[in-house]
Chain A
């Protein structure tokens, strides 16, 4: 079917589907984020030798109250898993992943509406549902690429600084982080698809992410919040400490289910609306 479509530029960038176009649109941002998170991994690994097995450090941290140590993921700080948990997987890493996914997710349809390119896109015989799902898939692949970049840096360079982390624990932490990001990216897509406003979608979704983080973390300090914890996707991703306990299939399933709900809401609400009005 595509045999005739040959031209020099086409060979360079054959945008066959909505998926490919959505991915291509963000490729520069993607390269930047992948490099950024890979770089974060490198920097953290670079600082590890001064922490590794450092007794005085361990003593210092033991002086903190237990609740604060859990809150900041400081348990076991001088070991490999403890160090990665504290420096990357308790807040910085997931936060960056979530921001990346929200920026992309909210741009997928709402950006297209705000730039008014939705008219020309839907001049083509593609259903709105297909547009939503293919664009969503591009964002998911993007998150996975960034996750792979961070994971590869940690796995390949970790041994050089004697960072000993089990592959299962490390991959569990990265997969949980990626799924959390995908969820918030999908939530951003849903709010954007339901409203057509990118800025609004970004605000709402960022707020939800902060709330999820607090609801996962604060129960360490405020015990009466504990029963509400399972409402927080952050809890299911990182609150259950994948770095310490490995894969937690039920918790990951909860994340996937929440993502599925958001994607369904995105698809249905985009299909029902007047676009770019």
Chain B
């Protein structure tokens, strides 16, 4: 068993380039990756790729397997089956070379509490071959971080900032951020989102996990949804938004017939519940409004669905890509 040295897979996965760097290889590529814990939980057959220069949002409810996937990328845990590659390099065999190029913010962040932020950051800068302190200090200033207090004396949000600064420091080509905005106030969350966009604009890549689609929708180019250990959909955020859908909820004075609205163009889903009908309308809303003219109404609401609803509707209908 190698002690972190190169393994044959490295040459297989990376045809050329110095340090095994294949510029065409995606920053992250998972192929049928399976990992189970003793006592249940884990991920099954996870397959997806993250492209260079994008912000990829990894979305899922608590316990879905986000942290598991991320710790597999960092080689902190090892898959039972499947291939994990970063920049075309094997996650295990080339772990050190990979980690030279990534910044990682753990989801369950624990820092060396007795050090000050400055001590921790200079220590890590040394371990990484010394990104200039001036730049790190600029980052810290951007987050308004107190550098000279022991980390244990910082609030949760300020500790999170220390974690973010160490991940961002040295301008890594790939940022892997596990719930980066947890514990941050809205203003700082906004700053973090802005930073992610800047990173992507520079051609670097961001992979972030979250359990709120609205956050991911704001910042990500693409979203992967994971539930119960399976990636069930990967979508472009703009494709989701482009789908113009309206949700209509209408209550009549009398119950609707069972075939009401069935022939109205654009109605993609109908749920009749006594006097109330729930309609999902794709395209223009006009035909539905005309159809409603034939009824006596108690109540009517028309709204656009949240990104969440769009996403869910999408994967229920389409399945994973």
| Residues of A that sit less than 8 Å from B by CB | 1-2, 4-10, 13-18, 21, 25, 115-120, 122-130, 267-268, 271-272, 274-277
Of the 9-residue stretches B108-116, B216-224, B237-245, B286-294, which lies at the interface with chain A? B108-116
- Residue pairs across A and B with CB atoms within 8 Å: the count is 123
Given contacts A122-B74, A124-B99, 10 further A-B contacts (CB under 8 A): A4-B134, A9-B116, A9-B147, A10-B133, A119-B104, A119-B109, A120-B111, A124-B128, A127-B3, A271-B3
Docked complex Cα distance between A1 and B125 (Å): 10
Query: Are B119 and A9 neighbours in the complex by a CB distance under 8 Å?
Result: yes
Docked complex Cα distance between A1 and B95 (Å): 23
**B130 contacts which of A2, A115, A117, A119 (Cβ < 8 Å)?**
A2
**B127 contacts which of A17, A117, A272, A274 (Cβ < 8 Å)?**
A17
Interface-centre pick from B3, B109, B133, B166 (highest chain A CB count, 10 A): B3
Query: Are A117 and B112 neighbours in the complex by a CB distance under 8 Å?
Result: yes
Q: List 18 A-B contacts (CB under 8 A).
A: A2-B126, A5-B125, A9-B118, A9-B119, A13-B119, A15-B122, A120-B109, A123-B103, A123-B167, A124-B99, A124-B127, A124-B128, A125-B100, A129-B3, A130-B4, A267-B3, A271-B2, A277-B77
B78 touches A (CB below 8 Å): yes
Task: Considering the complex, give the chain A residue whose CB is closest to the CB of B67.
Answer: A119
Q: Which residues of A contact B5 (CB under 8 A)?
A: 127
Query: Are A127 and B95 neighbours in the complex by a CB distance under 8 Å?
Result: yes
Query: Are B99 and A7 neighbours in the complex by a CB distance under 8 Å?
Result: no
A-contact bits for B62-76, CB 8 A (1 contact / 0 none): 000000000100111
Docked complex Cα distance between A25 and B5 (Å): 28
B72-114 residues at the A interface, CB under 8 angstroms: 74-78, 95-97, 99-100, 102-104, 106, 108-112, 114
**Minimum C-beta distance from B233 to chain A (A):** 28
B18 touches A (CB below 8 Å): no
Query: Are A120 and B163 neighbours in the complex by a CB distance under 8 Å?
Result: yes
Q: Which residues of B contact A16 (CB under 8 A)?
A: 123, 126
B257 touches A (CB below 8 Å): no
**Contacts A120-B110, A122-B99, A125-B99 known; A15 to B119 CB distance under 8 Å?**
yes
Q: Which residues of B contact A125 (CB under 8 A)?
A: 96-97, 99-100, 127-129
**Minimum C-beta distance from A157 to chain B (A):** 34
**Minimum C-beta distance from A114 to chain B (A):** 10
Query: Are A124 and B106 neighbours in the complex by a CB distance under 8 Å?
Result: no
Query: Are B99 and A275 neighbours in the complex by a CB distance under 8 Å?
Result: no
Q: Which residues of B contact A4 (CB under 8 A)?
A: 130, 132-134
Q: Which residues of B contact A7 (CB under 8 A)?
A: 118, 122, 133, 137, 147
**Minimum C-beta distance from B3 to chain A (A):** 4
**B76 contacts which of A5, A25, A118, A126 (Cβ < 8 Å)?**
A118
A-contact bits for B19-50, CB 8 A (1 contact / 0 none): 00000000000000000010000000000000
Query: Are A123 and B116 neighbours in the complex by a CB distance under 8 Å?
Result: no
B148 touches A (CB below 8 Å): yes
**Minimum C-beta distance from A17 to chain B (A):** 7
Task: Considering the complex, give the chain B residue whose CB is closest to the CB of A118.
Answer: B76
Q: Which residues of B contact A120 (CB under 8 A)?
A: 104, 106, 109-112, 163, 166
**B3 contacts which of A2, A122, A268 (Cβ < 8 Å)?**
A268
Query: Are B118 and A119 neighbours in the complex by a CB distance under 8 Å?
Result: no
Query: Are A15 and B123 neighbours in the complex by a CB distance under 8 Å?
Result: yes
Q: Which residues of A contact B123 (CB under 8 A)?
A: 15-16, 21
Docked complex Cα distance between A117 and B4 (Å): 20
Query: Are A123 and B130 neighbours in the complex by a CB distance under 8 Å?
Result: no
B187 touches A (CB below 8 Å): no
Task: Considering the complex, give the chain A residue whose CB is closest to the CB of B4.
Answer: A127
Docked complex Cα distance between A117 and B97 (Å): 21
Q: Which residues of A contact B78 (CB under 8 A)?
A: 274
Query: Are B104 and A117 neighbours in the complex by a CB distance under 8 Å?
Result: no
